Amino acid sequence: MKDHISKSEIRKDAIQGGVEAATHAVGQVSNIVVSAVGDVAKAVGGLATDLFEIREATKRAAADVAVSEDVAPTDEV
């Protein structure tokens, strides 16, 4: 027995397949973008942490020099 599929059923299947493929592609791109945004946030956070640590180390070094030279330390950095 041979099944007969109508033209509208064929169109519906083609549209459904296209929508499923597009949805899958959008999902993959969304995952890539979300991951990239997270990676950028981590990198910027790491940079900010490094800059704070450098600033604090600079203040400590300036205070150490000031103590050894009997000069008042400054907060300018």
Q: Return the half-sphere exposure (C-beta side, CA atoms, 13 A cut-off) of residue 14.
A: 7
Distances (CA, A) of 44 to 37, 57, 62: 11, 20, 27
Q: What is the pTM of this model?
A: 0.60
pLDDT for residue 71 is more than 90: no
SS3 25: helix
**Residue 77 binned pLDDT confidence (cut-offs 50, 70, 90):** low
Look over the chain and give the mean of its residue pLDDT values, rounded to a whole number: 90
Angle, vertex CA 51, rays to CA 45 and CA 57, nearest 5:
140
Give mean pLDDT, residues 30-59. Answer: 98
Helix, strand, coil percentages, rounded to 5, for the chain: 80, 0, 20
pLDDT for residue 72 is more than 60: no
Q: Tell me what pLDDT residue 6 has.
A: 93
Give mean pLDDT, residues 55-65. Answer: 93
- Between CA 65 and CA 62 the distance in angstroms is 5
